[in-house]
Amino acid sequence: MTKCGYVSVVGRPNAGKSSLLNWLVGEKIAMVSHKANATRKRSNIIVMHEDNQIVFVDTPGIHETEKLLNQFMLDEALKAIGDCDLILFLAPVTDKLTHYENFLEKNKKNTKHILLLTKIDNVSNNEVLEKMKEYEQYANKYEAVIPVSIKKQTRHEDILDVVTKHLPEHPYLFDPEIMTTEHLRDIFKEFIRESIFDNISDEIPYETDVIVNRVEEKKDIDVVKATIIVQKSTQKGMIIGKGATAIKRIGKDARIKIEKLTGRKCYLELFVSIRKGWTKDKKGLKELGYDVTF
């Protein structure tokens, strides 16, 4: 009998969740940014390991805030914690234990979890061992502790073997040939958002979103038309940039990511539209796919 199940990947903002999942699946699918709180919604990334299927759930970072959009993001993370067979909690090795203790409080169902110590490239082996000793006071809470370096030291099997061990026996939930349940247009949206985060500074990326208006597969090229949503006219000006330099840079970055994923040429056309206060309004959030129910 094969093993198969949902594994939620959680942790504080910028813990390395999306980077880990892209590395495990061997493709860039999840949005990655050095800025915190870039991931806004749950997404499924499917990894086949031997004869078993692991459905990883990428999640927004666990954080507290009064902003409506951020409350939606926290709710997404909490739903993922409550609706899975296993949790991977990512803890950067230099973090204090407070983020982990906060997670334990939020894991109301006491779902089994594995602790991954991430970003160990930045510290010595002795420091990694010291941090593992700190976590030993919670040894009755977790199934295993795995130090992780996706840059050099860790192999996929170091994580996947342990994850599979704790999954239930179950037939595959999805076609083993697919890497994600996300639609291509949703992945394209995240690539464009990632390019905004990478090319526009300060708080502006947090007040933007993207609507993919059209995806047309022609014989030799994919045509993608999308609208970047902002809240203020000043933000629109910064997204476009002097002589349209900023939006051209965003478009080029996103197009390269799209072409690498699809293996086809892409013509990407970007527009910018103002929706005042969309991050603070339930209706505005719902129109952009963030179904705020609280």
pLDDT value of position 265: 97
3-state secondary structure of 167: coil
For the chain, the C-alpha Rg in angstroms (whole number) is: 20
Dihedral sign of CA atoms 194, 196, 198, 201 in order: negative
* Residues 48-75, mean pLDDT to the nearest whole number: 92
- Report the mean per-residue pLDDT for the chain: 94
**Predicted confidence band of residue 294 (pLDDT cuts 50, 70, 90):** low
What single-letter amino acid sits at 212?
Answer: V
29-43, 94-108, 230-244: lowest mean pLDDT where? 29-43
165 touches 186 (CB < 8 A):
no
- Residue 86 predicted with pLDDT over 80: yes
pLDDT for the residue numbered 201:
85
pLDDT in tens, 181-209: 999 999 999 999 999 999 998 889 999 99
- Alpha-carbon distance of 199 to 225, in angstroms, equals 19
If you average pLDDT over residues 69-88, what whole number do you get?
94
- Each residue's pLDDT tens digit, 159-179: 999 999 999 999 999 999 999
Q: Give me the DSSP letters along 182-217.
A: S-HHHHHHHHHHHHHHHHS-TTGGGG-EEEEEEEEE
Cα 143 from Cα 213, distance rounded (Å): 45
- What are the residues facing 274 on neighbouring strands? 230
Residue 235 has pLDDT above 70, yes or no: yes
Q: What is the mean pLDDT of residues 14-41?
A: 91
Q: Tens digit of pLDDT for each residue in 211-223?
A: 999 999 999 999 9
Q: What's the confidence (pLDDT) of residue 46? A: 97
pLDDT at 291: 86
pLDDT in tens, 94-141: 999 999 999 999 999 999 999 999 999 889 999 999 999 999 999 999
- Of residues 72 and 202, the one with the higher pLDDT is 72
**What is residue 292's predicted lDDT score, i.e. its pLDDT?**
81
Evaluate if residue 243 carries a pLDDT over 90.
yes
For residue 6, what pLDDT is reported? Answer: 98
What pTM, to 2 d.p., does this model score?
A: 0.93
- Torsion angle defined by CA atoms of residues 257, 261, 265 and 269, in that order, rounded to the nearest 10 degrees: -50
Q: Which domains does the chain have, with CATH numbers?
A: 4-165 (3.40.50.300), 184-287 (3.30.300.20)
